[in-house]
Structures are given as C-alpha cells and as structure tokens.
A = this chain, B = another copy of it.
Amino acid sequence: MAKAEKYRLAQIVERFGGEILGDPQTPISQVATLESAGARHISFLTHSKYRKQLASTGAGAVILGRADSGLTKLPRIVCDDPYLYFAKVSALFNPPQAAAPGVHKTAVIERGTTVPASASIGAGAYVGRRVKLGRDVVIGAGCHLGDGVEVGAASRLYPRVTIYPGCCLGRRALVHSGAVIGADGFGIAQDNGTWRKIPQVGRVVIGDDVEIGANTCIDRGALDDTVVEDGVKLDNLIQIGHNVRIGAHTAIAGCTGIAGSTRIGKHCMIGGAASIVGHLDIADRVIIHAGAVVTKSIEQAGTYGGHPAENNRRWTRSMAHLRHLDALRERVRHIEQQLSLPEEKA
C-alpha cells in the first residue's frame, strides 16, 4: 500500500461529515481495530459484540453511531452509519497502490491489440488479438486475455486471471487471482446414453464497478450473453452459470452457486454457500441466507433461508419446532393412553 498521509479529526469531518466530540486537532495517521489501535489510529464501533473492546482500546479516536456516542470519552466522530464512515476513512488512508505503466518484457501482446501508454501489463501476461484495453488498466502478471476481450478504463486484474475470447469487463473492475470469466457453460444434451456438447457461443458481459473474487467462475452464455450489471460484488469461489443475469448492486458471498438462466434482481444480498437452481427469477432486494438451497422463484423482496429455501422466519420456526417433535410425540402418546387407544406403529 502507498504511504499514508496524516489528517486531523477536523479535516476528516470536513470531508465526510459527522460531528466531533473531543479534540478536533487529534492527529490520525491510519485506521485500526479497537483491539490493535495505537494513539495515532482512528478506530470504529459497528458491531455490539466489540463494545467491550471500546473500554480498553488504545485508539486516539473512534468512529461510532449516535446511540453509542456516550460509550467512550475518547475523541470521536459521531455519525449515522459508522461502518460506511469507516469505509470512507480507511480508503482515505489506504489508497490503492499504483502500478507502474508499461508492458513487462515477458508479456505477450498479439497483433491487432494496442496497449494504452497508461496501462500496466505484468510479467508473463498474455493479451490476445484485437483486445480493447481502457486507460489506466492494470493487467496482472500471468493473466490471460483471449482474442477480442474488452477491459474498461481503470480496471485492475490481479495476477493469473483468465478471460476467454470475446468477454467484456466494464470500467473500474477489480478481478482477483484465479477468476475465470467466459469458460463454457455446462450445456449438454442426452443422446442415447451419452452426452452431446452444446456449443457455448454467448459472451460474458460485465458492467462498471464490479468486483470479482478469487477463483470465482462466470460462464459464457450458450447463445445469448451471461450478464453481470453495474456495481455487483462477487466474493471468492462463486459459480455463475451460463445465461445468468445478476442485477445491479447485488452482493454475493463466497462459495455460492447460481445455475444456468436464473435471473437475480437488483440490490440483492446472497449469503455464503447458497445454491440457486436454474431458470428461476429472484426479485429485487431479496436477502438469501448462508447455506440456503433456493429451488423456486422468489417474487417478493424479503429474507429467505433454509433447504429448501422459504421465508426465513418460517424456516427458523419450522426448525425450532422440529427440535421439539420429541415432546409432541410424547404428548400424543399420552393422549392415546388416556383414551386407551393403541399406540400406532411409527
């Protein structure tokens, strides 16, 4: 990371708003957790679990919500959303490291591709024919960009990303190592006991401001494209099947799989290790819990979980009932005894 500058609390509030309690001249040189912060660090409280640490923190200042503003006497910034505020302050102290422009001598650039002077192409990277690279792109060492790939301005591919031919990334993309964009979708048809491959000739088309985690896979479409809209955030080891569409500003946690042709709405939050079967429609603003197995379309915004997934409150209640099934059986047995009924074989 680039060397951080110093700011005083007052300068931070000038940029990001909020209210200072305590000395506005408190100097801050970095963000840190309550547990590890020192006198020049600003820390934050966003999760009630960590309140105990507030009492003993060595931080020079703290960011917290209005309800918690009385929990410490340290210099502090009080704001509506301390997690968002912390995100902004951390970005101020930790700007992304710049990559030196230029093409490494071991990189391979095929004919028909022009590398902008502002771009950085790492060691051993391979850039195919007719690839379109925007300004300030960073293509990490060992990346592979197939023929006709497009990468929008200011995008950064970490080392060893693979993009198959014809796929498009928007601007300001962040793609982590091992991600594979545009491999064939799992399209096979049964043919007398064997499988016949269906050519996968669609592309993957990814909007602006998308982040893609390490070793995540997004398959190309069978005929039409697989689409990831603007602002989508994908964690690691996610599988996106062919012809899926993921709506803008949806966030998906790691190990989740979404099968072919399913459409996910905008502003959804999908928990880790969820599985969503193919050909479904998931509405906007749906929240899906970790481990959910979604087998039907979801038409209403809300929170869903379980296996099979349903309204999460209902699932949680069902599973609680299940734990008391023993007792219910006992009650039925008791009634049967009272009525001198024979207990039926379970």
Binding site for B on A (CB under 8 A): 1, 31-33, 35-36, 47, 49, 81, 83-84, 86-88, 90-91, 93-94, 96, 104, 106, 108, 122-124, 126, 140-142, 144, 146, 158-160, 162, 164, 174, 176-178, 180, 183-184, 186-191, 193-199, 201, 209, 211, 213-215, 217, 219, 223-224, 231, 233, 235-237, 239, 241, 249, 251, 253-255, 257, 259, 267, 271-273, 275, 277, 279, 290-291, 293, 295, 306-308, 310, 314, 317-319, 321-332, 334-336, 338-339, 341, 343-346
Contact flag A346-B327 (CB < 8 Å), given A237-B237, A259-B290: yes
Give A210 to B140 CA distance when docked, in angstroms. Answer: 27
Report the copy number of this chain in the oligomer. Answer: 3
* CB-defined contacts of A251 to chain B, threshold 8 Å: 188, 195
* CB-defined contacts of A241 to chain B, threshold 8 Å: 254
Q: Are B279 and A290 in contact (CB-based, < 8 A)? A: no
Q: Are A321 and B327 in contact (CB-based, < 8 A)? A: no
Contact flag A87-B224 (CB < 8 Å), given A217-B237, A254-B186: no
Give A124 to B122 CA distance when docked, in angstroms. Answer: 12
* CB-defined contacts of A255 to chain B, threshold 8 Å: 239, 255, 257, 275
* CB-defined contacts of A290 to chain B, threshold 8 Å: 259, 275, 277, 293, 295
* CB-defined contacts of A345 to chain B, threshold 8 Å: 327
Give A329 to B142 CA distance when docked, in angstroms. Answer: 61
Give A210 to B146 CA distance when docked, in angstroms. Answer: 23
Contact flag A325-B332 (CB < 8 Å), given A36-B223, A235-B186, A273-B293: no
Q: Are B217 and A215 in contact (CB-based, < 8 A)? A: yes
Contact flag A87-B341 (CB < 8 Å), given A162-B178, A217-B236, A231-B194: no
Q: Are B331 and A328 in contact (CB-based, < 8 A)? A: no
- The 20 listed contacts between A and B (C-beta, < 8 Å) are A33-B224, A35-B224, A84-B196, A87-B198, A90-B223, A91-B198, A123-B126, A142-B160, A144-B160, A158-B183, A162-B177, A183-B214, A193-B249, A213-B217, A215-B217, A254-B259, A275-B291, A317-B326, A332-B332, A339-B339
List the B residue with the shortest CB-CB distance to A84.
B189
Cβ distance A46 to chain B, nearest Cβ, rounded Å: 9
Cβ distance A35 to chain B, nearest Cβ, rounded Å: 7
Give A114 to B271 CA distance when docked, in angstroms. Answer: 43
Contact flag A233-B332 (CB < 8 Å), given A142-B126, A259-B272, A327-B344: no
Cβ distance A170 to chain B, nearest Cβ, rounded Å: 14
List the B residue with the shortest CB-CB distance to A275.
B273
Q: Are B272 and A277 in contact (CB-based, < 8 A)? A: yes
* CB-defined contacts of A308 to chain B, threshold 8 Å: 319
CB-contact partner of A178 in B180, B199, B322, under 8 A: B180
